[in-house]
Structure 1
Amino acid sequence: MGRVHFSVDGHIATIVLDNPESHNAVDAPMRAEIEASYKRVEVDDAIRVAIIRGAGNGSFCSGGSIDGYLEIKAFGPDGCGPPKIPRPHGSRKPYIAAMLGYALGGGFALALACDLRVAGRSAEMGPTGLKLGAVQGAQTISRLTRLIGQSRALGVLLLSKRLKAEEAERIGLVHEMVDDEAVFDTALAWARTIAEFSPWTVEMTRRLIYEAHHLSFDEAIAWEDRIALEGYRRPEALEGFTAFKERRRPKF
């Protein structure tokens, strides 16, 4: 049975998937612990950003535990289907995926659910659904299409491609590829940068990016203008501009 470890350092939460015997595949107890971790990130106002990673120097996550799927009777005419986990998009706070080794199937979906992805050179990622006789699910298709476009998503999904980190970076699926030993330090550096910003401005920036795509261009601009105006009326903006003028770091 795997475990999920949750820790907080300052404004940064770290969620560690720990099931090394199966490349950090997620079993039923781990699913519950991941959901609990999401809730802790959401309700704790001291937390401003979260990192998801695999334990040790092993894989990020090789997907869902097949034994776990059998236990919950996911298959068959009356099957309940795959369990739902990946969902940081609805969070008020950003998530960073720190990827080593495998990020496959549900693990690939979990990485896609994060806002930022840093991958080590050894990382391999991709869907597994078609190879297993299933539609990928876990929000993979919708997220992947929005991230890399319809044509590239079709290539990855219909060919069930396993992408190396270099190709994933080239097509914009991974924000940065680094040496394996630098993955967690890079994720932490990104998290520290985000944690210094105003939580409200980070939340609104994410909302504008994720939710404006279904609007017309004029509607999206109008919404962005309203949010920008609201931001200038908040104390964070006054503090930020005052700090810049006084040549000091702002306190958000």
Structure 2
Amino acid sequence: MATIHFSRILFNRSPHIVKSAKYFPSSIKFYSVQASNYEFIKVEKSGEKKNVGIITLNRPKALNALCNKLMNEINDAVSKFDNDENVGAIILTGNERAFAAGADIKEMMNNTFASNIRENFLEHWNGIAKAKKPTIAAVNGYALGGGCEIAMMCDIIYAGDKAKFGQPEIAIGTIPGAGGTQRLTRAIGKSKAMELVLTGNQITADEAEKIGLISKVVPADQLLNEAIKLGEKISSHSQLIVSIAKESVNKAYETTLQEGLSYERRMFQATFSTKDQKEGMSAFVEKRAPKFTKE
């Protein structure tokens, strides 16, 4: 559940807060995007072809606590990148101290069951998971509670070597509510997910990679650069075929094996109706680089 802002807990219990002066190497070239006066996020493009969208959570004093306005801004930015034909992948990141340490408790602590039902609380936090284009979470620092959940909404997670993950909602009398009990279980299995949810313990980036929660651990100061390289690689392929591949992988979480295999086979067959399949295979046979048209 994207519902916990643990800045006090973290500072009281964790004296070794990550400190680094350079998490955005000078070698990375950013390109400004016209944004809608965002308050809690920054939006940029990167890559040689400006084809990687970057959304940076920007509430540093609150360790990027996830308030409703911040989540609305993320959804808006994701939607804009999703509809930008020049963008092939989207990166969600934070700062050196926190990807997001959880949700803003002060904003939600007086909610009632009735108000949660009436307002369908947390429903709109799912915008990242609905993106058609591949999404990459680049996690430095703390990804706790809702921070861990929005990272799991992304398709791929890269982490800096000092990152910490966890679902500590149990410590304040509630449970995860934005996918923490569901996506976590699917990603790492019942036993480990149960341990993390019931204890509220944090795990390191190395352990997160070991149990399959994340794809890669890199030095913290290289994290964003590595995520951009990944985004550029994905963006070099046909966006149409990438979206079909993403949807097919996601089916594995939502169906039986036989249903998934049937869906995959049909989607594979469907790619042969696209110009990009013809171009890709022709380029391979002719030993040249393909020129995809997204059709």
SS at structure 1 position matched to 2:201: coil
CA distance in 1, matches of 2:158, 2:256: 32
SS at structure 1 position matched to 2:191: helix
1:202 corresponds to: 242
Match 1:220 to one of 236, 239, 260: 260
1:65 corresponds to: 104
Identity %: 28
2:146 corresponds to: 106
* CA deviations over 1:143-189 (Å, ceiling 9, x no partner): 11111111221121112120111110100111111111111111111
**Greater relative contact order (CA < 8 Å, ≥ 6 in sequence):** 2
SS at structure 1 position matched to 2:90: strand
The residue identity in structure 1 corresponding to 2:157 is R
* Pairing of 1:1-252 with structure 2 (within 5 A): 3-9=40-46, 10-55=50-95, 57-70=96-109, 73-74=110-111, 76-80=112-116, 82-84=121-123, 85-252=125-292
Q: TM-score, normalised by structure 2?
A: 0.78
CA distance in 2, matches of 1:223, 1:165: 34
| Superposition deviation, residue 218 in structure 1 | 3.1
* Residues matched between the structures, number: 248
SS at structure 1 position matched to 2:103: coil
Give structure 1 regions of 4+ aligned residues with deviation exceeding 4 angstroms: none
Contact 1:169 1:177 in 2 (8 A): yes
Unpaired segments ≥5 residues, structure 1: none
CA distance in 2, matches of 1:162, 1:79: 31
Contact 1:2 1:26 in 2 (8 A): no
Unpaired segments ≥5 residues, structure 2: 1-37
SS at structure 2 position matched to 1:163: strand
| Superposition deviation, residue 66 in structure 1 | 1.8
The residue identity in structure 2 corresponding to 1:183 is L
Contact 1:15 1:51 in 2 (8 A): yes
| Superposition deviation, residue 77 in structure 1 | 4.8
SS at structure 2 position matched to 1:140: coil
The residue identity in structure 1 corresponding to 2:283 is A
Q: How large is the Cα RMSD of the aligned pairs?
A: 1.9
SS at structure 2 position matched to 1:103: strand
Distance 1:176 1:212, change over 3 A: closer
